[in-house]
Structure 1
Amino acid sequence: MSILRFSDDLCLIDLPQKLEGFRKFISAWVYTGDEYTLVIDPGPKSTIPLLVTSLRDMGIRDVDYVLITHIHIDHAGGLGEFLRHFENAKVLVNERGKEHLINPEKLWRGSLKVLGKVAEHYGIIDPVHPERFVDAIDGVEVLYTPGHAVHHQSYIVGDYLFVGEAFGVTHEVWDDVYQRPATPPKFVHEIAMDSVKKLKSVGKKKACMGHFGMLENSLDVAEYAEKQLDLWTDAVFDAICCSSVEDFESVYGIVVHELLNKDPRFSNLEKLDADVRKREEYFIRNSIRGMYEYVKENRI
């Protein structure tokens, strides 16, 4: 069990999966303020027992609200199971995602199609009763940030900015950070960029990442995310237009080679442990595929 304490009112519970490299990747934020206790993104069903045990060990018997940044299975797949343990907890989620949590059949089928055995490991998505949802919470500011997914939103709670995957994915490496975009199909460059700019406009906050951990200066993460969205999309465009290749595998190879030389934070991929690097290579492929499909449809 790994509980990372960042301040008196905020900690992060690591939710490692029994999959190669899936450690310090999926997690749940826990905010314990004077007015309420919040859990942000409880994760998949597979690790709800770990999450519940961790909360109990922290002395938390009641959760007031669960904030969902987006409904992807690794962030919200275990919500239904989690709510069985905390019967008074209410849920705040984007309207576009709510219906899929009430009736998760389509979400589950889509997860199986995209993730296959990984989705099976995460566990089936249980439905959430409509009465568990709320439209707003005093003291929680909601920002619609659909760059990663149409149902993605971020939250401001005091000095904390819970960004889900709007800034991409980060991982500490020695005295530096690894960072990459999280841009699966159907990625739209303009929407992703607008989401980052919206988060940047709130000023300096502590960036609480969906994957993984906290970065003290949200403006720094946002500015780098902006650069990456442009750099990566341009790299895909150049690979298609200047290298006389169009099939995804060829484009992917060219783009990764280019980015490892031009993107300092992405080049920290080589500093990750071998199992974590293998996990990341799977998701990097998905991010580049999102950009590849966008470029083919909009820029060629």
Structure 2
Amino acid sequence: MGPQQQASRALAALFAMFVWVSTGTGSDAADKTTGLLTLRDALTLPNHPVRIDARLTATGQTDHRPLGGVPLRLRIDGKDIAIGTTNETGQVSFDYLPKMRGTNVISLSVDPAASVSAEPREATLCVWERRRPIVLVELESLMLPVPSSTLSEPAGIGAKSPTEPVPDAAEELSKLTQYYYNVVYVPGGELSSSESDVGHMLRQWLTSHKFPPGFVAVPGTGGLSATLDALKNDGWTTMKSGIGRTRAFADMLLQHRMEVVVVPELPKGELPRKAKAAKDWKEVRKKL
């Protein structure tokens, strides 16, 4: 099995555990429709307005219809901000003006009086200054490979997630972001989910393993290349470095004229000519 397959397997294992936990637990009232809130991270500048988008859909074996007319409550850093009602496509948007640079917690929940019950969702509002460099991190470079046998094992209550962090990755990445870089996390492998709750899953994993807060960018149509173009078009031109695990990720960043460090080292002959290699996360800072 090659590095690309191993990396995709790590994300797949994490997603399988998340789906089991999110669908196999909970006790919604029988007279309420069970819904799924989807909330994405947001990125802006101090004193610049930002739009926070969310969506509410039904969740079930065959029912994934959008749920309109449902009031949702927005909180930021624990403070009530606004109440919005989903439209016919299940979507709702909130406009917010952050004042100071930093990382804020966005919380969204269904009004308790609504006819829909859904687990609250949290996301990250990153308020950054443009002059600070951005490092792009492939999620797979933070995750240990998962044996194929693990994916077939049933998950039980209290089961340990099969996806564990690479030794030293959280500590070394924290050092990089403490004084110099802002971090954008991206999944590099193929991962399918109907309503793309992947961002929530990844945020939970990153937080539980003490990785530094950052912007989780889940690629949509056009994949990683389109995500990079969108960030640059929004003015985030200091995005010049990346840390990844797979050749596909390294090739993509090199095509966008970014420097990239691959960790751990790829087999001989697989490392792109202009990419740098680190044998472990302890070496990454020396390569950037």
Give the TM-score range, shorter chain: under 0.3
Q: How does the TM-score come out when normalised to structure 1? A: 0.27
Q: How does the TM-score come out when normalised to structure 2? A: 0.28
Of Structure 1 and Structure 2, the greater strand share is in 2
Structure number, greater radius of gyration: 2
Bigger relative CO (Cα 8 Å, ≥ 6 apart): 2
